[in-house]
Amino acid sequence: MSRLLTTDQGRQIAYDMTEGRGPTIVFLSGLKSDKEGTKAVHLEAWAKARGQGYLRFDYSGHGESSGEFTDGCIGDWHQDTAAAISSLTQGPLIVVGSSMGGWQALLLARAMPERIAGMVTIAAAPDFTEDGYWASFNADQKAALDVVGHVELPSDYMEPYVITKRMIEDGRQNLVLRSPLALPFPVRFLQGTADTAVSTETAVRLLEHASGPDMRLLLVKDADHRFSDGPCLGLIEDAILDVIGEHECSA
């Protein structure tokens, strides 16, 4: 049964917390995904079997949390993430971010690097509001943002995305690939070559842009954006063990 956390902004954030030893694993979902996704639920069971602390939650406008998706933006979801971590966890964290959750993980690294012991991203999508959406909009779509306040974009994975003017403008205040990005802990970037939402070029750009003592990018041939079949889930487990410093094969 999910519990609720009220943020300083008055948003109700639904979460599931598994108590256990540290470092606590925190799963950050993608855009329009939630804490009931395949990766989030699988990793919870895996962490529980290891006796390890684990947190999964829904951003506002997602899943069981309050609010409408179209009212949210990257900065709001960063506030939700920071609130959940500050209120519900203690000690070092292993942050696992999927797609937009990868961007959220990088924002978290800027906001509270002292809390993060390691990071794993899965098809990380930093700056996608600018480099993906805005860069691909034609003149009519850009005009619609001003006149209507939003545009609709098709998705390969679910119903169309409604992209608001606020999301684009807020995204520009939260870009991570335009200024120094320090990741002073072990990081593993995972990326499928058949991903139609995030390109391998984006993954390489992130690897080259960020600075840190222990960063690696694993490209998985033919894996798609979901990255959630059996072998991919095993790779996520292995990456978490790697950043923790446990190098035995996962069960």
CATH number at residue 10: 3.40.50.1820
Angstrom distance (rounded) from CA 100 to CA 102: 5
Mean pLDDT of 154-178: 89
| Burial degree of 145 (CB within 10 A; 0-12, 13-18, 19+) | buried
Short-list 38, 83, 89, 85, CA closest to 236: 38
User: What integer pLDDT is reported at residue 249 of this predicted model?
Assistant: 43
> Is 250 domain-assigned?
no
pTM, whole model, 2 decimals? 0.94
**pLDDT confidence bin for 157, thresholds 50/70/90:** low
218 domain-assigned: yes
User: Prior bond to 23 cis, omega within 30?
Assistant: yes
Residue 166 located in a structural domain: no
Residue 40 pLDDT grade (very low, low, confident, very high; cuts 50, 70, 90): very high
Structural domain of residue 58, as residue ranges? 3-127+175-244
State how many domains the chain has: 1
Looking at the domain assignment, is residue 216 inside a domain? yes
